[in-house]
Chains A and B, each alone.
Chain A
Amino acid sequence: MNPRKDLLTIGSLSTEEINTILDSATAMKDIFTKSVKKVPALKGKSVLTLFYEPSTRTRSSFEVAAHRLSADVTTFTVSTSSVVKGESVHDTIDTLMSMKMDYIIVRHKHSGIPAVIARHCKAAVINAGDGAHAHPSQAFLDAFTIREKYGEVAGRRVVIIGDILHSRVARSTSCILKRLGAEVAYMGPGPLVPLQKHTGIPRFTNWDQIFEWRPDVIYLLRVQNERMDAPFFPAGDYHQAFGVTEERLERIDDLNLSIMHPGPVNRGVEICDAAMDYRNTLINDQVENGIAARMSILYHLTPQTQNND
């Protein structure tokens, strides 16, 4: 197996690589419980976070991961207003190459920008979300969380609920779960859920169908008003139609289902307050596992900056 330079999509990885990264994430998580929460694996390496879109969670998760591996982290703040796509990305690449970074973590509102940067840089590039395309590190932490909860991903049923069409999380997470042998279904407002004939993924439009399908995990997507040109629905209506309401939570509790969410949560929209404290809500586990998964990803990539010897 050749060393991998970049992580752009789940689809580009072999199942063996996916399992290797998940296995290592377990060992990475053990580091959190030691008195010294740091290992020297990336000592002297430089990591740059380049976020063209606002993000607190993903960026800080990557930063904590890099710090725990002893890397030096630089935050490149990009003012979204000054960015004109195309040309300016190439200018940025030139700048980055001069800075001799070893790892670059990119988020951009346009699909494919991380791949462009990866092609032109010797640094290892990690896609931290590009448009509605992919968010592979989220997929890893989701798969890791399900594996931790159930022992293995294979055979589990996961329903992803929300605006599937605009969601890179839905795309990457369903991809990794299916590769690992889970069954995935989508549910959400009709116009925002792709047809089964296009994705091969069962498509539901209401909760009765979900309960009938008998999932193990309810995966809620965030309602992303900022990614839509016009709101498709009022928040209260969404909650009644597609959210985890208190009544649905009772049913979820009876059936012993888990609840996941990539965060940040819109309380009263995707999820009611009570569901945040429900015993099988894995949202905080996802945050902690995100650091372990991202440490594992950083560890497994090999920048070409080191291969000049």
Chain B
Amino acid sequence: MPTIGKDAIDAALDNWAERIAVGRSSQGGELALIGLISHGDILAQRLIQRLEARGIYARYGALDISLYRDDFDMKQSKPALRSSYLPFSTDGLHIILVDDVVQTGRTVRAALNALFEYGRPASVQLHCLTDRGGRELPISPDYSALRIDAPSTAKVTLHLQETDGCDEIIYP
């Protein structure tokens, strides 16, 4: 199975942070990166570190969107919830939602609903590590860091150092 390794992921994160930095140059107000648990939260942390190195400050937040899903009726048992971490009001903030893999768009729909219970942001963008296509909702990422050459039906698995012991993307 083809694998994308640590170096390629690091390079993608560098470009990603660069893209956010460029976007910030013409934008006032405060920036917050809010990662979708799990994986999106870790990617958001890594991006915030890279932005700091460029002298750009961004607040960090994490959202567990399980309680906002529309597939609650599925037959599998539910995993434990994780606590969302959003220790600030989102009023007036420029927010970038950070997700690992965007596919159907349903997670993003749920994330937007969850996010708006914390305030009224000035703007919200969606950034992801990779866009798999297969959208079921009118949602499109503003930025996708990596292109993966695999059929849109193929399962793409992301591992990150912090949760899985190494950085890699595996796909058939």
Contact = CB atoms under 8 A, between A and B. Distances in A.
A47 interface: no
Contacts of A245: none
A302 B117 contact: no
Contacts of B64: 27
Contacts of B76: 3
A34 B83 CA distance: 12
B77 A40 contact: no
A117 B113 CA distance: 36
Given A40-B68, A302-B75, A23 B117 contact: no
B72 A1 contact: no
Interface string B104-147: 00000000011001110000000000000000000000000000
Nearest to B77: A3
B27 to A, nearest CB: 26
A82 interface: no
B109 to A, nearest CB: 12
Interface string B50-81: 00000000000000101111001101111111
A28 interface: yes
B81 to A, nearest CB: 4
A306 to B, nearest CB: 4
Contacts of A20: 78-80
Interface string A12-24: 0000000111011
A34 B82 contact: no
A3 B67 contact: no
B89 to A, nearest CB: 8
A248 interface: no
B38 interface: no
A35 B76 CA distance: 31
A41 B117 contact: no
Nearest to B117: A36
A30 B67 CA distance: 12
Number of chain B interface residues as a range:
20 to 34
A36 B119 CA distance: 9
Contact of B68 (A28, A41, A300): A41
Contacts of A28: 81
B73 A306 contact: yes
A24 B81 CA distance: 5
B84 A30 contact: yes
Query: Which of B67, B69, B118 has the most chain A CB atoms closer than 10 A to its own CB?
Result: B67
A39 interface: yes
A23 B80 contact: yes
Given A36-B117, A40-B68, A299 B83 contact: no
A199 interface: no
Contacts of B113: 40
B77 A302 contact: yes
Contact of A300 (B75, B78, B119): B78
A299 B78 contact: yes
A64 to B, nearest CB: 16
A34 B118 contact: yes
Contacts of A300: 77-78
Contact of A2 (B67, B72, B77, B83): B77
26 contacts: A2-B77, A3-B75, A3-B77, A3-B78, A4-B77, A20-B80, A24-B78, A24-B81, A26-B81, A27-B81, A27-B82, A27-B84, A30-B83, A34-B118, A35-B117, A35-B118, A39-B114, A40-B68, A41-B66, A41-B69, A41-B72, A42-B72, A299-B67, A302-B75, A306-B73, A307-B75
Given A27-B84, A30-B84, A35-B118, 16 more contacts: A1-B77, A3-B75, A20-B79, A20-B80, A23-B81, A30-B83, A34-B118, A35-B117, A35-B119, A39-B67, A41-B67, A41-B68, A69-B67, A302-B75, A302-B77, A302-B78
- What are the 9 tightest A-B residue pairs by CB atom distance, in nearest-first order? A27-B81, A23-B80, A39-B67, A36-B117, A24-B81, A41-B67, A3-B77, A306-B73, A20-B80
Interface of A: 1-4, 19-21, 23-24, 26-28, 30-31, 34-36, 39-42, 69, 296, 299-300, 302, 306-307
